[in-house]
Amino acid sequence: MDELRDLYQEVILDHNRRPKNFHKIEDATHSAVGHNPLCGDQLTVYLKVDDDDTILDIGFQGSGCAISKASASIMTGTLKGKRLEEARQLFGKFHSMLTGMGGPGHVIDGKLAVFQGVAEFPARVKCASLAWHTVIAAMDAQEDPISTE
Ligand code: ZN
């Protein structure tokens, strides 16, 4: 188990050093800014979504701790090509895993599983979920336009 944990940590550190999709999307259809004041993580997420609700492109910029950056990197890789509805469902599963609500048998596919250990550190849950909360905020803003008035 320790060996597995070390491996997962290595994946996180690697994504932190060389984040994927770490760029602004100039012709984004959706974007939002997310802030985690507990840790100082701040991210902007950009989405380019087509008429069929498919995420054609996704990127992020910002600064934060290794967990927040690695989570954004892995999330963008996971969500590219998915539909908005699938993205919401995945966030539900991911959040359940982070908060330990999925139960001991809860399994999540692919690279997102590297964050399983975060459930043991409640203060880090917000770091790992920041990018996801930001993506959902970006989607919601588009579906239900926000007003500054
Ligand atoms: Zn953080």
pLDDT single digits (tens) 95-131: 998 988 766 556 676 789 889 888 888 889 999 999 9
pTM: 0.88
More confident residue, 142 or 88: 88
The strand ranges marked E within the chain are 30-36, 41-49, 55-63
Which residues are close to ligand 1, an ion, with C-beta < 5 A?
Answer: 39, 41, 65, 68, 127
pLDDT digits (tens, 9 = 90+) for 32-57: 999 999 999 999 999 999 999 999 99
How remote is the CA of residue 17 from the centroid of ligand 1, in Å? 15
Q: Tell me which amino acid residue 146 is.
A: I
Beta bridge partners of 58: 47
Which domains, and CATH codes, for the chain? 2-141 (3.90.1010.10)
Euclidean distance between the first and the last CA atom of the chain, given in angstroms as a whole number:
53
Nearest Cα residue to 43 out of 143, 148, 136, 145: 136
* pLDDT, averaged across the chain: 88
